[in-house]
Amino acid sequence: MSDATKILMVGARGRMGQTILRLAAANPHFEITGTVDQGDNVLDRLDYCDVIIDFSHRSISGPLAQIAAQHNKPLVIGTTGQSTDEKQGIVEASASIPIVMAPNFSVGVNILFYLTRKAAEILGDEFDQEIVEMHHHLKIDAPSGTAKRLAEILVEVKGKAYDEIVLHGRSGEPGKRTCDEIAIHALCGGDVVGDHTVIFAGIGERVELSHKASSRETFASGALRAAKWSIGRAPGLFSMQDVLGLK
């Protein structure tokens, strides 16, 4: 299809990379013009793509963003866990090209982000806030980028600093729960693709917002949607919230 969005897939051998390749191959609106993984040279495959999708490793994202900027190629980043220094290269590159970076490309999860902010604004400090997540037994990082983003949203509404009030589980005798603290509880087992719940616990009532993913296809579909959206955009650092028009 002549007007198909041409994609260079970085991290093509990973679970997400494979899912994106499969969905793109079945959709005439997308064309995979190149794949890159460990040991490959991304420069050999840049000329033929309209946009780059990266689901490789956090250490790759910054240098890849710089290369994308040099060649004026929009970039979609689904890799998470970047350090402050690693993120800096992405921010710098976004002055030249559109970059969509998200901890989770699922449409449903991004609705969860949106609703979490609204609930936190409405319920306020009278409701304690906790985050519970579960992933498959092969996941290597905890908490996930999605759980961290949920915590960031709650922290932003409180007007506090993340490192001051976010806990990663509890053990021993942590003492009485403070009004501001937020704990992330990460569960791991089986083949769970990704479950996330934000709990607002008040006196006499509790509100829970949950999202459960049963297939990686939901993330892959979102990444492809973001790739198509990025074509022709002005430079900037965007999120899936921008892609969905939720901001």
Q: What is the pLDDT of residues 60-98, one digit of tens each?
A: 999 999 999 999 999 999 988 888 888 999 999 999 999
Q: What is the pLDDT of residues 116-147, one digit of tens each?
A: 999 999 999 999 999 999 999 988 888 998 99
7 Cβ contact partners less than 8 Å away, ≥ 6 residues apart: 24, 30, 31, 32, 33, 49, 50, 51, 52, 53, 224, 227
pTM: 0.82
* Residue positions annotated with a catalytic role: 135, 139
CA angle at 183 for the pair 180 and 189, rounded to the nearest 5°:
165
Domains in the chain and their CATH numbers?
5-105+217-243 (3.40.50.720), 107-213 (3.30.360.10)
